[in-house]
Structure 1
Amino acid sequence: MILYPAIDLKDGQCVRLLRGDMQAATVFGDDPAAQARAFAAAGCEWLHIVDLNGAFAGRPVNGDAVSAILGAVAVPVQLGGGIRDRAAIEGWLEAGVARVILGTVALRDPGLVREAARANPGRVAVGIDARDGMVAVEGWAETSDVTATDLARRFEDAGVAAIIYTDIDRDGAMQGPNVAATAALARAVSIPVIASGGVSSLDDLRALKESGAPLDGAISGRALYEGRLDLREAVRFLAA
């Protein structure tokens, strides 16, 4: 399993939200590139970046901050938030993003996801954010009537690199990930699944590893910023 440190961008700053609420943002720094360098120096294999403003606006907003991160580190970056058309997908991939994450558009326009995945093998992931098992979109502002598993299964033969599964009610709450739901999703599809939301300790990572599900990795943010999870220790643990 791989640990993906998260850098969530709001108004050019590194923040963490509580359960997706933009009004409940905690600022952890105003230099995203410096934060990326710190994570890279601690040994991370990937970085997980989210343009929060972009997720609500439906278009990239924090482009300058993302570009600064790309220029600051050599580790691969996966980016989500507001990427909803072919131009945005191709633009970020050409700019050096290793993998784009398509969330809202995966529900609204699955054909675009398939097209992008075919054109860019290994570089397109699907972000599935769920509230009580149902897919939420538009920066988590709207909850659909589609289950996370049903949406994931739509892309079984699409060639997507991974599914990033976030339990919204756990995100930023430091209460541990929804291991049961994440493991069930990973068992239901052949696409690699990355756990997100609530990962805040080595015990959480251990629970994910011991679930027996074929998980590709886990994303953590607030716990790393607050020192509750040591990145170097976590990387070593997952590599063992």
Structure 2
Amino acid sequence: MSFNLYPAIDLKDGQCVRLLRGEMDKATAFNPDPSDQAYQFKTMGFDRLHVVDLNGAFAGDSANGEAVRGILKATDVPVQLGGGIRTRAQINAWLEAGISRVILGTAALRDPDLVKSAARDLPEKIVVGVDAKDGYVAVEGWAETSDIKAVELAKIFEGCGVAGLVVTDISRDGMKTGVNVAFTSEMADAVSIPVIASGGVASVEDIKNLRKSGGKRPISGTILGRALYDGDIDPAEAIEAARA
């Protein structure tokens, strides 16, 4: 299995930002022009993007649509999008707009049948976001923690055609404290759906550790956030580590 890297573009009020542990009041703006950021990532050699509409995640509806469409115009790499997408109409609209894969997080917990039917009808287009706080699923832009374990939620979507799981350890997100390899590996072993690690990636060493996680099933990729923006991860080294 190839190991894919997904540079993250998190959108808040039309800008490219990074949060600490998903807290909206702890946002650092990195680029006022998300389409420029998307173009930069492509020129660095990355061949896909992970975009999140943060305002949308809290509002339950797309809030940074103009910025997303700008990203799509600026680059031709596949873009996966999450944040506030909770209906089939929204899923269809974004796929028609050129998004390659739609990430469903809150909808996966609140309306699993929607996710299953969309995954069956739209092969390789639906990704489930499993955001965990102390092992339990958090939703509504991570503002609410449920009583369902992350592993239990993942298993609900086994066999229905979901293209991937983006697994985030919220406590590490934006903190550059190192990715939670053990938790991600546990999730990868629990289901046959490809698992993408998210949260806390601090260095190229984290990419190497994810690749050699030692679980029964390999981890399929990781999302790169603050450490990439801060310059702690060299793009060329990261790409080389992913392909090694």
SS at match of 1:219: strand
Q: Identify the residue that residue 19 of structure 1 maps to in structure 2.
A: 21
Distance 1:193 1:233 in 2: 22
Distance 1:12 1:232 in 2: 28
Distance 1:183 1:130 in 2: 14
SS at match of 2:50: strand
Structure 1 residues 201-223: Cα deviation after superposition (integer angstroms, max 9, x where no partner):
01111111111231110001111
Q: Equivalences for 1:124-203 in 2 at 5 Å?
A: 124-203=126-205
Distance 2:88 2:190 in 1: 29
Q: Identify the residue that residue 221 of structure 2 maps to in structure 1.
A: 217
SS at match of 2:124: coil
Identify which of 53, 56, 65 aligns with 2:55: 53
Q: Identify the residue that residue 233 of structure 1 maps to in structure 2.
A: 237
Distance 2:31 2:76 in 1: 21
Identify which of 180, 186, 207 aligns with 2:209: 207
Letter paired with 1:231 = P
Structure 1 residues 137-177: Cα deviation after superposition (integer angstroms, max 9, x where no partner):
00000000000000000000110000000000000000011
TM-score (normalizing by structure 2): 0.97
Matched, 1:42 2:44: yes
Distance 1:212 1:158 in 2: 26
Letter paired with 2:177 = Q
Q: Identify the residue that residue 116 of structure 1 maps to in structure 2.
A: 118
Distance 1:74 1:43 in 2: 12
Distance 1:144 1:228 in 2: 34
Distance 1:81 1:91 in 2: 14
Letter paired with 1:236 = E
Matched, 1:80 2:82: yes
Q: Offset of 1:119 from its aligned partner?
A: 1.3
Structure 1 residues 79-101: Cα deviation after superposition (integer angstroms, max 9, x where no partner):
00000001110000000000000
Letter paired with 1:103 = G
Q: Identify the residue that residue 89 of structure 1 maps to in structure 2.
A: 91
Structure 1 residues 31-59: Cα deviation after superposition (integer angstroms, max 9, x where no partner):
00000000001111210000000000000
Structure 1 residues 102-143: Cα deviation after superposition (integer angstroms, max 9, x where no partner):
000000000000111111100000000000000000000000
Distance 1:205 1:157 in 2: 28
Distance 2:219 2:207 in 1: 11
Q: How many pairs were matched up?
A: 240
* Structure 1, unaligned runs of 5 or more: none
RMSD between aligned alpha carbons?
Answer: 0.6
SS at match of 1:215: coil
Structure 1 residues 224-233 or 126-135, which shifts more?
Answer: 224-233
* Structure 2, unaligned runs of 5 or more: none
